[in-house]
Structure 1
């Protein structure tokens, strides 16, 4: 009698474990390599290119001002003795002030570019997260994990990697939304440069 009770308990335990294992197997999971996604996502590439071009454009104008300053500083050193101490002190103070202004302008430009790029990047990341959430729901996933720089998964079979699918769909969606014309980007960069010039 005791043997049959133990066998029944053991059988119930095994059936219960098998039931739990079956329940676990039904959970559908996947992962996205977020670093790879951002490397291959067209909008991310366009955003990087936009701010690289904007930085170069703004940098060229600032560099022209810096070169002008260097030429004046060189002339100052050559003419300092010839024009006397009073002139040298006055001109030295002016050059020092201009150098400081150029430094502030460079810092302001970098800060502005970082801030603008940060806002657009945050918006893009939010859009990607929403897309992945919708993709997960639509395709019946209980979990979609992210891997990349901030690893949140230590192992996954490659068959659960949906990075390519998500990247392709995001790129298709981005293309259908319509990209900004390159001329618009240049016009924006030019406006920014003009704004910096007016501040001087």
Structure 2
């Protein structure tokens, strides 16, 4: 009786551990860092916000130069107009400098938030695309590697489908007028 129970238990354990042979599993991986560097949509997003950042930077630079000129002018006038005027002007300039710093921080946060939102949306779309690609091409697993999602420490290069996905995603991507304008701005420089 114990022997029969032992055989039944062994059979149950072995049947639970039955695994598909390695030749039956189809896997691949994507270098996510490379994908984001070479996917035209990601490049366009980066360029778009780089141009916006430079535009805002020029605006702030103009205000900063005006502030510097006003500061130097106040320094020259301080002795002639007396300590009370100098104190009042210093407080005025300090408040103006704080507003300028807050404006700079606000502008850069606005750009960063908008960029992150657009990139997050792109990453979601890419994940869905890879999922559909995996299903369509009968992959059991598609892994990600790179700095953003390191889930592979080693894989044969023959399993790398990054270049194929970059090509397909770039073929699928249609730039908008916004990104075309950003590209033209970038070329002008």
Distance 1:133 1:142 in 2: 10
What aligned pairs does 1:1-200 form with structure 2 within 5 A after superposition?
Answer: 23-149=21-147, 150-174=149-173, 177-181=174-178
Aligned length: 169
Structure 1 pair 22–83 and aligned structure 2 pair: CA distance change class (3 A): closer
Q: Check conservation: 2:40, 2:170, Cα contact below 8 A.
A: yes
Gaps in structure 2 of 5+ consecutive residues: 1-13, 184-189
Distance 1:54 1:163 in 2: 30
Structure with bigger RCO (C-alpha 8 Å, 6+ apart): 2
CA offsets 1:114-138 (integer angstroms, 9 cap, x no match):
1100100100000110000000000
Shift of 1:23: 2.8
CA offsets 1:138-165 (integer angstroms, 9 cap, x no match):
0000000000013101221111110011
Runs of 4+ in 1 over 3 A off after TM superposition: 181-186
Question: Which SS does the other structure have where 1:133 is aligned?
Answer: helix
Q: CA RMSD in A?
A: 2.2
Structure 1 pair 95–42 and aligned structure 2 pair: CA distance change class (3 A): same
Distance 2:134 2:58 in 1: 45
Distance 2:36 2:180 in 1: 24
Q: What is the TM-score when the length of structure 2 is the normalising length?
A: 0.83
Gaps in structure 1 of 5+ consecutive residues: 1-15, 187-200
CA offsets 1:159-183 (integer angstroms, 9 cap, x no match):
1110011000000010xx3432457
Structure 1 pair 115–22 and aligned structure 2 pair: CA distance change class (3 A): closer
